Chain A
Amino acid sequence: MICLELFVTFFKIGLFTIGGGYAMLPLIQADVQAHGWMTAEELVNFIAVSESTPGPFAVNVSTYVGAELAGLPGALCATLGVVLPSFLIILLVARFYAAFRASAAVSGAMSGLRPAVIGMIGAAAVSVGQTVFAPDGVQALAGYPLACSLAIFVLMAFLTHRKLHPIAIILLSALLGIAAGCLRPM
């Protein structure tokens, strides 16, 4: 039963994600957190795992959530769910390739979708920001200085701007996070 629920949820996520990369984040936040499959913190942690492992975020997150909830069958159902909408739609589009590219309806809809995705990723960033600056439910981290998170964020924003590789950003912020945790006043 859980497998069917995984399949349906990730099918919906795959179907309504337009554009690459983080465009999937708002939908995943809504569905995966609403089901209680992952907390906000776990999801942001997993973004880092996904950036440092091969493959698209969509496949990574669906495989992970599926495996956590129902082992191999769960991982298969969730991943199949997230891949299937793209696969079927592209098969259709590839057949009517020229018509699709020239279609006024497609470009019209896209002119509304692209800004909407940006607004929605902005909303996702707000909730990621909450996990950084106002984390809840992490008792072990009580007393973890907020200033450290802020300093790490500012430094990483600068280094990202200077085009440091995402994996280097993640490694460096992990080291700084450990340093800040170990040096914090007891």
Chain B
Amino acid sequence: MRTDLSKARLLFWTFFKIGAFTFGGGYAMIPLIQREVAERRRWLKDGDILDIVAIAESTPGPIAINSATFVGYQVCGTFGAFCATLGVVLPSFLVIYVISFVLRQFSQLLVVQYAFNGIRAGVLALLLKALLSMYRQSPKGAVAYAIMAGAFVLTAFCGVDAVLVILASAAIGLAASHMAKRRAAE
């Protein structure tokens, strides 16, 4: 029990550090997790990191939370998962909570509005870049392109609920891969 507690405390601080030093979240966090959790603490093997990324990507929710919960659970069960997740969330929570007081007041200033006007153009560039690299890694083929186009048009121009699009595309993916497997079996 004693060792569990000290492990849990170590998990909390390790993920607190990871949460505090990753900007932009998500994938930026993976190399840090690798260094802290696999190389420094030896809680996991190097190859496990790939599994964590795969699982974090294929379950709902942000990658940072998913990885923290997963590593925490592997190291010391549900309590470990709780400590790691709390650790990874806390830095952003505190920083943003403090910023929320400042942001509202500053956002009225003309110079800040000018700055944000430029920033929005920069954010658009960042977003398109992220989109491009996701596109490069995504499955190719007629079904994938059709889903991509369908999801784009339905969300952008038809105002269809994003949740519906998610559920429908999961169902289509399931059906398509099932059919492909049946065809391969024949």
Contacts and interface: CB of A to CB of B under 8 A. Distances in A.
A4 interface: no
Contacts of A135: 117, 120
Interface residues of B, number: 99
Given A128-B124, A166-B126, A174-B118, A140 B113 contact: yes
A166 B173 CA distance: 33
Question: What is the interface residue range for chain A against chain B?
Answer: 35 or more
Contact of B58 (A18, A148, A174): A18
Contacts, number: 390
A121 interface: yes
B118 A180 contact: yes
B157 to A, nearest CB: 8
Given A20-B64, A45-B116, A63-B97, 13 more contacts: A49-B103, A52-B23, A56-B62, A56-B63, A63-B96, A93-B55, A104-B178, A112-B143, A114-B138, A119-B149, A156-B122, A160-B125, A182-B114
Interface of B: 19-27, 29, 51, 54-66, 69-70, 73-74, 78, 81-82, 85, 88-89, 91-93, 95-97, 99-100, 103-104, 107, 110-111, 113-131, 134-135, 138-139, 143-145, 147-153, 155-156, 161-163, 165-166, 168-178, 181
